[in-house]
Structure 1
Amino acid sequence: MATLHSAPRFTKIEGLKDTLAKALGDHLVEAIEAHGELLLHVKRDRVEDALRILRDNHEYQQLMEIAGADYPARAERFEVVYMLLSVTTNSRIIVKCRANEDTPVPTVTTLWPNAGWLEREVFDMYGVLFAGNTDLRRILTDYGFEGHPFRKDFPLTGYQELRYSEELKRVVYEPVQLAQDLRQFDFMSPWEGAEYVLPGDEKAATPPVAEPKTTAKPADTGAGAKADAKAAEKVAAKAPAKKKAATKKAAAKKPAAKKATAKKPAATKAPAKRKPAAKKKDAE
């Protein structure tokens, strides 16, 4: 039996762009509708006010996620992305603003308490500052970690590595030391043709042998009547010896059968019957 729900599986966003753009007013920079989603770009210093309007007036009650993005070529390289959900209308929208390393974004912990953890993650991974967040600390990396791993200019190998030292009985930080040079990948498909020789293809360019070796005669392969005769002699000479040895070993392994030593019970003689004594005749 199919279960029916009152809320639709997908909410159409037709007309939603104009409605929300009119509600945000001068807080909005641009509104983009693509791929069935609505993206609202708001001013950085107005992001708290814009999200408050969407929460209170348009029923976007839940802050589902705060993410970051890095575009190093831009003047304001970072984007802070807020993902909102309306439980009432089953609608999701995306709100974003731009920032830089030295331009803090107003915190939205005044609107959603879970924003504290999400802002800490964006700060840890990208280095974006959030003005008003009273607990802006690293959340995924360690306290002594340097740099922000999700930035495009962050090296793939990092600057330091940490390990537990048995001698010092604590975690220690050391500069990264690679056992081999960092390999550079060109992402070129070998089927399309690489500009260098791939490992294992060194022999592909060698010319074929002029006169390939053949084994036309049995003598070239080590076979023949003489070889067969010698093999037969060795088998005939060793086969009986192996059988005898095998039978001896098998006999030695078998335990000797124990003889039955049960004693027969001793025959008991029946007591001899006494003959009745002859009656003496009274002599007269």
Structure 2
Amino acid sequence: MAVLHSAPRFTQIDGLKDTLSAAIGDDLVEAHDEHGELMFTVRRDSVETVLRLLRDQHSYQQLMEIAGVDYPGRAERFEVVYMLLSVTKNNRIMVKVTASEDTPVPTVTTVWPNAGWLEREVFDMYGVLFDGNTDLRRILTDYGFEGHPFRKDFPLTGYVELRYSEDQKRVVYEPVDLPQDLRQFDFMSPWEGADYILPGDEKADTPPVSEPKVTEKPSDTGAGKKTDEQAAKKVSSGSPAEEAAGEDPAPAPEPTEDRADRPARKGKTTDTGEATEVKE
């Protein structure tokens, strides 16, 4: 028996961009298809109205995520991306607005209550303000944290570090103290070469010595008959153990591995199976 589902198995986006663009109307800034997904950039002040329209009239019931993006070179450096899902159409779209550090984005908690925590995360990581969010607090960083870690100009090492102080018996915050100096990166391609001298490269400019030292005769190396005679002397000569023995120790015994009188083995190693079986 065939089971009918209200949601289609495959997403159909043909003609959807024109339909939604016409529905958004003058609030639409740009619409394009990227990687098989529709993306709509709308006016910041109208984002709450647009998202309510998409929810009520075009069946985008769920707000799946709110993400932030930082483009420091732009006048409005931040993008706030709303990811919507239609469970009845099996379709996802993204709606974007732009914002700067001091231009708040209208909250969409009036459309989806779960937007409260998602907006707090974007505020915590990027510093984007959301007008109308009554509980806009940090949600991922620690109490008293300064700065916004996902901004491109935020240092990878941060501004402060925390450690446990044995003197104060508590966790304390201190300015970052790095034992390594190589914390600044120039992003230059290693194949093009850097415009500064790397540690150790200063030796490459040192001119060669004028009179290199060579060993053209044995006396220059310390080798010769006298050295060979000294090396041939026994290290243990004159030791108490040797004087007590009065003579050289007995020579090593002859090896016993070669036994010519031993008869050759008969059979193969595979014939020993019966000898190793357990007899009852």
Answer yes or no: same fold by TM over 0.5.
Answer: yes
Structure 2 unmatched runs, 5+: 1-7, 250-280
TM-score relative to the length of structure 2: 0.70
How far residue 126 of structure 1 moved from its aligned partner, in angstroms, is: 2.0
1:148 aligns with 148
Q: Greater CA radius of gyration, 1 or 2?
A: 1
Aligned equivalents of 1:218 and 1:175: distance in 2? 63
Change (3 A) 1:118 1:224: same
Are 1:241 and 2:242 counterparts? yes
Task: Say which SS state the counterpart of residue 234 (structure 1) adopts.
Answer: coil
2:225 aligns with 225
Per-residue displacement from partner, 1:92-150 (whole Å, max 9, x unpaired)?
32111122344332222233333222110111122222233232110112221223233
Change (3 A) 1:238 1:91: farther
Equivalences for residues 39-188 of structure 1 within 5 A = 39-155=39-155, 157-177=157-177, 183-188=183-188
Change (3 A) 1:241 1:58: farther
Aligned equivalents of 1:123 and 1:54: distance in 2? 24
Aligned equivalents of 1:236 and 1:177: distance in 2? 57
How far residue 158 of structure 1 moved from its aligned partner, in angstroms, is: 4.2
Aligned equivalents of 1:146 and 1:172: distance in 2? 15
Q: CA RMSD in A?
A: 3.2
2:5 aligns with none
1:25 aligns with 25
Structure 1 unmatched runs, 5+: 1-5, 248-284
Aligned equivalents of 1:76 and 1:190: distance in 2? 33
Aligned length: 238
Aligned equivalents of 2:224 and 2:12: distance in 1? 86
Change (3 A) 1:194 1:217: same
Per-residue displacement from partner, 1:235-263 (whole Å, max 9, x unpaired)?
58379839x7xx9xxxxxxxxxxxxxxxx
TM-score relative to the length of structure 1: 0.69
How far residue 39 of structure 1 moved from its aligned partner, in angstroms, is: 1.3
Per-residue displacement from partner, 1:147-175 (whole Å, max 9, x unpaired)?
32333444555444333333333333334
2:9 pairs, out of 1, 7, 10, with 7
